[in-house]
Structure 1
Amino acid sequence: MSPDPPGAVRERDTATLPKAHLHLHFTGSMRVSTVREMSQAHGLRLPSALGDDWPVTFETRDERGWFRFQSLYDAARHCVRGESDMRRIVREAALDDGAEGSRWLELQVDPTSYAPFVGGITPTLEIVLDEAASVSREPGAAQVGVIVAASRMRHELEARTLARLAARYAGEGPGAVVGFGLSNDERRGETEAFAPAFAIARRAGLALVPHAGELLGPDAIERTLTSLSPDRLGHGVRSIEDPRTLDRVVEDGVALEVCPGSNISLGVYDGIDDVPLRQLVDAGATVALGADDPLIFGSRLQEQYEVARVLEFTDAELADLARASLRASRAPTEVRETAYADIDAWLAQ
């Protein structure tokens, strides 16, 4: 516990607070300088939103806003043209996260997006896993596990193919597949149709981590809980809109990967004060803060902890959020236990 007297205000450096990062997309993890360099190297032109107008905000309450966001993301992904680009993304993500106190990173990738440049989805995943294992041995880097993610925008049979691929490389520790997800616009596709893919991942012992409760509300979360039985929800913040749904999230022990910066940038909430982080924590939900897509939104993991501080979370409560992120992760036991001890040391400063 903190030695600070009652009423004292301390603001320890959140970059040195040990934590896990559970919601970070592969392309979206890039430094903006990296995507600019890749575009130049491949003779590609980037939108102004990744140039002088970066970062931008979006209005996703109608589909035009989401289309703008997705178009920008696709433009960045189009710059990733081969193995060296992919390895660079993994390495920089691990080093950047490590610099912000992350001891464990679960990096989410859809192998189909990069397969044409390296000969298929299997080589794509193997490249990502190999670099994850390699960079995890570097001093100062976060250790990296990988989440294979299917897209709601594609057929559910493709999701089953990806689940089988993920299962083949399932394991523990850096350089292994540790989870299976479902991403993209949750207004697309029928959640129930992806249940067979998640059953494959479940049998392989993978963490089940679909997106839900970002663009859609409690009904979508209920469908996801019922049909996919997830361990975590990507976002899930809109469970706050229905006490019954939130109670179910808490009772089922489903962790929420809350990404305040992206929620604000996408117009899910108007500003920091509207993000229901305090309400979710007070209701007993397990919350792991995430950055989602720093390339697009311009904020990394440490800044999400600073948002919590703006919402009047004390240092002791920030430490609790960090512990929750580790508990909800698939980090190896040794990584978690070391991080817990270092969190205590952070508070004792």
Structure 2
Amino acid sequence: MSWELSAGRPSRGANLKVMPPGRRDLDLLPKAHLHLHFTGSLDVPTLAELAREQGIPMADFLVDEDPLTVPLTARGWWRFQRSYDIARHAVVSEQAMRRVVRTAAHNDAIQGSRRTEIQVDPTSYAPYVGGIINALEIVLNEARLASQAEHIQLGVIVAASRTRHPMEARVLARLAARHGGEAPGGVIGFGLSNDESEGDTAEFGPAFRIARKAGLPGVPHAGETCGAEHIAVVLDTLHPTRIGHGVHAADDPVLLHRIVEAGIALEINPASNVCLGVYPDTASVPLRTLVDAGAQIALGADDPLLFLSGLNDQYRIAREVHGFSDAELAELARSSIRASFASDADKRTWLAEVDAWLAAEPVGLLEASA
């Protein structure tokens, strides 16, 4: 499937598109995908099929040709979260959960991802499979199977929600710690997601301490819908290894320098930023500012189902909108691999593959829609 950039955001293209000579195929660029939500990782045809299988009518706006776009307001966030919840109504069985994992692995593998770290809150699926332990173990088991079938490493991050009580986050941290281990098949990190304006960040500190004590790095969301000051609070209270989004670090040079010096990676999701009203268009996303400051960046798709924009579309935005050369795109891919929680040996293998991609002779490529 090809994508074209229109009005600052990705939209589906129906025609053949010729890649200008001198550009390498982004599908062949080895990379890691580090910011991907569970149900949001689905594609539209799979969601529609799951809904039919469950006998659930699916909202037209979730299966049409237009990405979800909302304003950066409380009402806009509510609409986004409500859309996600509607889609999640189709994921109400073990088989549906396994289908989500398989779809994520397949779609990322064909886009060149060597490692995908998918984020899940098992409490959202627990009522349908006998509890949060069963929900997590289903995801972990399918991650093992899908990794083998799709030739991709699939890691699982357990994430708590800011909209729930911090005690629940501690329960999830203990569950994550109990299942911690190498990917595929073990929990590799602990996150905190949902509306950044909700909850007291410091109250989630104990949950992150539980995770850290078990060797699980923290990957909370921060600095997307809230500003740089929110990132500073997260740094001080949750001590993250990576930050989900963190794009507003570009607004505060002192904070950005702190992040760079600490080696904290930022999971940047350009299309998501536009669809959620954070920036008016992809040209306004400060990707170049962050890269030029030395930040470690991992491009991600966030919720491809809602925003109709996959992993490689973020690299296309970097190329087409921000003017990144193939050498710079290769460095973004390297950055994503280094920021992953993969083993050092695997990272060395994939980094060598990035070098090979860049060393290959560029050619004009013909991309066709599926």
1:53 deviation in Å?
Answer: 5.5
Tell me the amino acid that sits aligned with residue 128 of structure 2. Answer: F
C-alpha distance in structure 2 between counterparts of 1:259 and 1:232, whole Å: 14
Asked if residue 244 in structure 1 is aligned to residue 284 in structure 2, the reply is no
> What is the aligned partner in structure 1 of residue 70 from structure 2?
58
Which of these residues, 39, 48, 54, is aligned with residue 51 of structure 2?
Answer: 39
Q: Deviations over 1:136-191 (max 9, x none)?
A: 112x4321010000000000000000000000011112111000000000000011
Q: Cα distance, 1:293 vs. partner?
A: 0.2
Contact 1:24 / 1:291 at 8 angstroms: preserved in 2?
Answer: yes
9 and 285 in structure 1: CA distance in 2 versus 1, 3 angstrom threshold: farther
Q: Which runs of 5+ in 2 are unaligned?
A: 1-19, 361-370
Distance 1:324 1:74 in 2: 32
Provide TM-score, normalisation by structure 1. Answer: 0.95
Point out 4+ residue stretches in structure 1 off by more than 3 angstroms: none
The answer for the alignment partner of 1:27 in structure 2 is: 39
1:260 CA drift (Å): 0.4
The runs of 5 or more residues in structure 1 that have no matched partner are 1-7
Residue 291 of structure 1 corresponds to 301
Higher relative contact order (CA 8 A, sep 6+): 2
Does the C-alpha gap of structure 1 residues 192 and 9 become closer, same or farther in structure 2, counting only changes over 3 Å? farther
**Pairing of 1:127-276 with structure 2 (within 5 A):** 127-138=138-149, 140-276=150-286
How far is 1:242 from its partner? 1.1
For 2:24 and 2:148, locate their aligned partners in 1 and report how far apart those are by CA, in whole Å. 27
Post-superposition Cα deviations, 1:247-274, rounded to whole Å, max 9, x if no partner, equal 1111111100000010011111111210
Instruction: For 1:173 and 1:90, locate their aligned partners in 2 and report how far apart those are by CA, in whole Å.
Output: 14
> Does the CA-based 8 Å contact 2:67-2:275 persist in structure 1?
no
With over 3 angstroms needed to count, the CA separation of the structure-2 counterparts of 1:154 and 1:17, relative to structure 1, is: same
1:18 aligned partner, one-letter code: P
| Alignment length (residue pairs) | 340
* 1:87 aligned to which of 74, 98, 101: 98
Amino acid at match of 1:119: G
The answer for the alignment partner of 1:343 in structure 2 is 354
**For structure 1, which segment, 37-46 or 218-227, has the greater mean C-alpha deviation from structure 2 after superposition?**
37-46
1:49 paired residue number? 61
> Percent identity between the aligned chains?
57
Pair 1:316-2:337 in alignment: no
Alpha-carbon RMSD: 1.2
- Contact 1:96 1:141 survives alignment (8 Å): no
Report the Cα offset of residue 235 of structure 1: 0.2
CA distance in 2 between counterparts of 1:331 and 1:10 reads: 31
Q: For residue 115 of structure 1, what is the aligned residue in structure 2?
A: 126
Alignment-derived partner of residue 282 in structure 1: 292
Question: 1:306 maps to what in 2?
Answer: 316
Q: Tell me if 1:328 matches 2:339.
A: yes
Q: Is the 8 A contact 1:103 1:335 kept in 2?
A: no
For 2:331 and 2:302, how far apart are their aligned partners in 1? Answer: 21
State which drifts further: 239-248 or 92-101.
Answer: 239-248
Secondary structure at 1:79 match in 2: coil
What secondary structure is seen at the aligned counterpart in 2 of 1:10?
coil
